[in-house]
Amino acid sequence: MDEVLLSVRDLTIALPAKMDRAHAVEGVSLDLMRGEILCIIGESGSGKSVTASAVMGLLPPTLQVTRGQALFGGRDLLALPESERRALRGRSVSMIFQDPLSALNPLMTVGAQVDEVLWAHGWGDRAKRAAKVQALLAEVGLPDPPLIARQYPFRLSGGQRQRVMIAIALALDPDLLIADEPTTALDVTTQAQILELIRTIQRRKGMSVMFITHDFGVVADIADRVVVMEKGLVVETGAAAAVLTDPQAPYTKRLIAAVPRLRAAGDSGTGTGGALILKVEGLHKTYESRSGFLGRKRVVRAVQDVGFELRRSRTLGVVGESGSGKSTMGRVLMKLIEADGGRILLDGQDILPMDERAFRPLRPRIQMVFQDPFASLNPRQSVGTSLIVGPVAQGMPRAQARAKAAEILRQVGLDPTAYERFPHEFSGGQRQRIGIARALMFEPEVLIADEAVSALDVSIQAQILDLLKRVQREHDLAMIFITHDLRVASQVCDEILVMHQGRVVESGPPARLFHAPVEDYTRRLVAAIPGRGARDAA
Amino acid sequence: MSDATLDTLAAPVPWWRSRTMQRFVGNRLAMLGLVLITALTLACFVGPWFLPFDEFYIDLRARFAPPMTGAHIFGTDPLGRDLAARLFHAGQVSLLVGFAAMLMSTVLGTVVGVVAGYRGGWLGAVLMRIVDAFLSFPSIFLLLVLAALVRPSPLMITIIIAVTSWMEVARLVEAETRTLRDQEFVMAARMLGLPAARIMFRELLPNVVGVVIVAATLTVARAILLEAYISYLGYGIQQPLPSWGNMLNSAQQYLADAPWLAVVPGVAITLAVTAFNFIGNGLRDALDVRSDMVGA
């Protein structure tokens, strides 16, 4: 098995001038053996995707390979003329991408897209290709291949689309499959299925896989060997088990330490919290949409009969997959979306029937931190304006608001000079700090964090979680933490609601929920947490 | 525990060195348009000071003088008035009408678009159906009917042109606002309890300015053309006040004998309209961030 299939030697790719560093990757060397899964792990900007694109010959024109080789079957992929490289792509080397929806042509049936690859490489005649398409769709575990082949991509779920991408990538039995974060956009249960599929097919065909990821849980699940990259450099290489249990490089150590872990079974958390601040009963929200003026009505029950209690200094987690209604619920609680029924008692007062005018004076008491640090700050407003505009609109004198903003910026770990600057001058993690600062300007009693750390790299994520814990302690906050990541929820929450199709299917303290789940759905979710097996064994 | 300063900083860039400006300055046609417009505007507003004649001076000995006759660089008209002087004064009227009409239609269109886009619901639907109703009139027809009903003065003409050209701005702004409305920063503004008017005009408006500027530039071109059109048909700016359109109108009957009477204002209109269109297209391409995305 120890035959080297792909050998990247001293790969160096220059970045365009005026970027924050000179090279996208510098002196990267790695070997991929025949029949192994090699994970390249790193945070955003580590150069992991650039490395993969270079091997595929798919670098954007702004990036130039300045040095190095990628030897594949004795030939240097980087030195091949484009025509030979194209012949190799798809046939010997294939790639799957993070977003299967944008990687598939929206106006072609998936069957035609699988067929196209076969056709482009002159594989068989029409009838043979048609049979092969069905066989491939069956191989990647899609139900009813004849039916699926006739569907357009938008009809399929995210997981099904990624299966189609894998079918396309496997069409010509490549020796090497490059997978660039193929499960990052998927729900946790779907991710587990796709990882399983890649592993199974890789074993069956004896194929080699280069798997790009940012998640050590995924590495634990799938990798034979792992390459750790930081800022364009390889910092550590080794067998997956060895790197995970005994990392050598300081960066790897930090990265692994930052991965959120499930809480131990006996850990019941701390205290019972303060006064009851938020009580929700029988909350309902239904979306009705009509396609066109006379179209058929579609009804989506986003939130059904949800209820809970929240005390000060406590954190309630709301976990679920996409479409579970968890974000809708958060926005309904904020009255950013009108609810259809139920009661939301904020400090004993039902806010649900209030109109915007009546609720406005109460808004300072319940605030939110949003998911996307790039979209949640107005790009045309300075940070200072974003911070003080709310309090000023609520009647706080400007000078006082400014002083308060300076104080809050310090609390969230930002320099006071941030006040004059604009959002685009900050990184994702810093912007999320600004988002938290904005929510704290009012001294709220309830803070809702809607996927507040989901868009962040794992080391930044750990910093923001620490910050949230600290401000919770300092401000005696009641927090609702909405997330799809069960590991994060288990770390920060005192109590967790598991939502599925708009309903709460199970709730309880994380220690119990994750180690002795009662409901079938919770069990499936917990089983799908990446890297779980490895860590429990460790 | 590492601090937030570990995060990499994007260097702040002043607006004149931004990618948008680089793309705009790099667009040769847009630059040509800008030069043309500057030259035309200067000629119309400063040029008359350097001419030996004013636009009403009648030089009876030099009627129908062709271009380059003595001091009459563009020649004279049937009354012996200097064509260059008349062209520049007409240009003042035409350009001012164009700009003023653009301002009015842009303000109206933007307000309607932002309100309809942000509020949505029945109010948005009613506003946008009004836009549709205006759009469904052939605008030239509407323009002529309106112009026949009111006494034509430059102000009236400006208003009439504005009334027939605000709808496209409204549609663009409405669409843009609707996509921005669901962005988290707007949610955040609502969370802070900001009044709707403030969200619309302080949070959303600055973010749609790009679309508005592009639409406005193209509207100037359209307004100049419309003014020329109705003045040519005799419903617009009335003699003796010159405009490029009514100069064409009075040139009509001498087309065979004194073609320069039509050619000179005709070229001025073409230059102005083309230049504004170049600028507009250049701005649209420059503001399109997608042109920044090179590969993944």
Q: How many CB atoms lie within 10 A of CB A228?
A: 26
How close is the nearest chain A Cα to the Cα of B5, in Å? 8
**For residue range A26-50, what is the model confidence (pLDDT) as tens digits?**
999 999 999 999 999 988 888 888 8
Task: Answer whether residue B39 shows pLDDT above 50.
Answer: yes
Q: Are A229 and A40 in contact (CB under 8 A)?
A: yes
Pairwise CB contact (< 8 Å): B10 & A460: no
A368 and chain B in contact, CB less than 8 A: yes
Pairwise CB contact (< 8 Å): B206 & A380: yes
Q: What pLDDT score does A482 carry? A: 94
Q: How many CB atoms lie within 10 A of CB B126?
A: 11
> Does a structural domain hold residue B188?
yes
From the list A379, A413, A460, the residue facing B207 with the nearest CB is: A379
> Does a structural domain hold residue B129?
yes
Return phi, psi of residue A110, to 5°.
-65, -30
Any residues with CB less than 8 A from the CB of A117 and at least 6 apart, and which? Answer: A90, A168, A171, A172
Task: Answer whether residue A263 shows pLDDT above 80.
Answer: no
Residues pairing with A39 in the sheet:
A211, A226
Rounded mean pLDDT of chain B? 81
Q: Which of A264-273, A502-511, B91-100, B178-187 has the lowest mean pLDDT?
A: A264-273
Pairwise CB contact (< 8 Å): B193 & A371: no
**For residue range A460-474, what is the model confidence (pLDDT) as tens digits?**
888 889 999 999 998
**What whole-number distance in Å separates Cα of residue A306 and Cα of residue A294?**
32
**For residue range B250-269, what is the model confidence (pLDDT) as tens digits?**
888 887 777 888 888 888 88
CATH code, domain with B261: 1.10.3720.10
Pairs across A and B, CB distance < 8 A: 113
Band (pLDDT 50/70/90 cuts) for residue B174 is very high
Task: Answer whether residue A236 shows pLDDT above 90.
Answer: yes
- CA nearest neighbour of B188 among A363, A1, A135: A363
A60 burial level (CB within 10 Å; 0-12, 13-18, 19+): exposed
**For residue range B117-164, what is the model confidence (pLDDT) as tens digits?**
998 888 999 999 999 998 888 877 877 887 788 877 888 888 888 988
H-helix or E-strand spanning residue B283: helix B260-287
Q: What pLDDT score does A41 carry? A: 93
B257 and chain A in contact, CB less than 8 A: no
Q: What pLDDT score does A86 carry? A: 81
Q: What pLDDT score does A401 carry? A: 92
Q: What pLDDT score does B25 carry? A: 82
What's the angle, vertex CA A412, arms to CA A407 and CA A416, rounded to 5? 50
How close is the nearest chain B Cα to the Cα of A490, in Å? 21
From the list B2, B207, B296, the residue facing A380 with the nearest CB is: B207
**For residue range B230-239, what is the model confidence (pLDDT) as tens digits?**
888 888 788 7
Band (pLDDT 50/70/90 cuts) for residue B1 is very low
Integer CA distances (angstroms), A369 to A433, A454, B189, in order: 9, 12, 12
H-helix or E-strand spanning residue A208: strand A208-213
Domains of chain A, earliest start first: 101-173 (no CATH), 276-537 (3.40.50.300)
How close is the nearest chain A Cα to the Cα of B202, in Å? 9
Return phi, psi of residue A378, to 5°.
-65, 115
> Does a structural domain hold residue B15?
no
Which residues does chain B have within 8 Å of residue A414's beta carbon, measured at their own beta carbons?
4
Stronger pLDDT, B1 or B175, i.e. the higher one: B175
Cis? peptide before B240, omega within 30° of 0:
yes
Q: What pLDDT score does A9 carry? A: 92
Q: What pLDDT score does B11 carry? A: 44
A184 and chain B in contact, CB less than 8 A: no
Q: Is A239 helix (H, G, I), strand (E, B) or coil?
A: strand
Percent of chain B having pLDDT more than 70?
91
Stronger pLDDT, B13 or B90, i.e. the higher one: B90
Q: What pLDDT score does B160 carry? A: 86
Q: Is A379 helix (H, G, I), strand (E, B) or coil?
A: coil
Band (pLDDT 50/70/90 cuts) for residue B14 is low
How close is the nearest chain B Cα to the Cα of A363, in Å? 6
Residues pairing with A279 in the sheet:
A309, A345
Q: What pLDDT score does B139 carry? A: 75
Six token digits for residue A407: 């104080």
Residues pairing with A299 in the sheet:
A288
**For residue range A366-409, what is the model confidence (pLDDT) as tens digits?**
999 998 888 888 888 889 999 999 999 888 999 999 999 999 99
Six token digits for residue B233: 């048909």
**What whole-number distance in Å separates Cα of residue A284 and Cα of residue A303?**
5
Among positive and negative, which fits the CA dihedral B97, B98, B103, B108? positive
Q: Is A13 helix (H, G, I), strand (E, B) or coil?
A: strand
Among positive and negative, which fits the CA dihedral B236, B240, B242, B244? positive
Band (pLDDT 50/70/90 cuts) for residue B286 is confident
Integer CA distances (angstroms), B101 to A173, B169, B223, in order: 65, 13, 7
H-helix or E-strand spanning residue A210: strand A208-213
Q: What pLDDT score does A130 carry? A: 92
Q: What pLDDT score does B10 carry? A: 41
> Does a structural domain hold residue B12?
no
> Does a structural domain hold residue B147?
yes
Band (pLDDT 50/70/90 cuts) for residue B8 is very low
Q: Are A204 and A19 in contact (CB under 8 A)?
A: no
How close is the nearest chain A Cα to the Cα of B199, in Å? 11
> Does a structural domain hold residue B29?
no
Q: What pLDDT score does A271 carry? A: 63
Supply the range of the domain harboring residue B141: 91-290
Pairwise CB contact (< 8 Å): B4 & A376: no
Pairwise CB contact (< 8 Å): A375 & B183: yes
Q: What pLDDT score does A88 carry? A: 83
Q: Is A350 helix (H, G, I), strand (E, B) or coil?
A: strand
**For residue range A143-201, what is the model confidence (pLDDT) as tens digits?**
889 998 998 888 888 888 889 999 998 888 899 999 998 888 888 888 888 999 999 99
Six token digits for residue B13: 């860039």
Six token digits for residue A414: 């930002």
Q: Give me the mean pLDDT over the A281-306 stretch.
A: 79
From the list B4, B9, B191, the residue facing A363 with the nearest CB is: B191
Question: Which chain A residues in 379-418 lie under 8 Å from chain B, judged by CB atoms?
Answer: 379-381, 386, 389-390, 393-394, 413-414
**What whole-number distance in Å separates Cα of residue A198 and Cα of residue B54?**
84
Six token digits for residue A383: 């940070």
Q: Give me the mean pLDDT over the B165-175 stretch.
A: 92
Q: What pLDDT score does A18 carry? A: 65
B15 and chain A in contact, CB less than 8 A: no
Stronger pLDDT, B45 or A227, i.e. the higher one: A227
Rounded mean pLDDT of chain A? 87
Task: Answer whether residue A125 shows pLDDT above 60.
Answer: yes
**What whole-number distance in Å separates Cα of residue B15 and Cα of residue B209?**
14
Q: How many CB atoms lie within 10 A of CB A299?
A: 8
> Does a structural domain hold residue B65?
no
Percent of chain A having pLDDT more than 70?
95
Strands A225-230 and A208-213: unpaired
> Does a structural domain hold residue B232?
yes
**What whole-number distance in Å separates Cα of residue A307 and Cα of residue A342?**
9
Residues pairing with B16 in the sheet:
none
How many domains, chain B? 1
What string of DSSP letters covers A73-107? TTEETTTS-HHHHHHHBTTTEEEE-S-HHHHS-TT
Q: Which of A240-244, A268-272, A319-323 has the lowest mean pLDDT?
A: A268-272
Task: Answer whether residue B3 shows pLDDT above 80.
Answer: no
Q: Give me the mean pLDDT over the B49-72 stretch.
A: 74
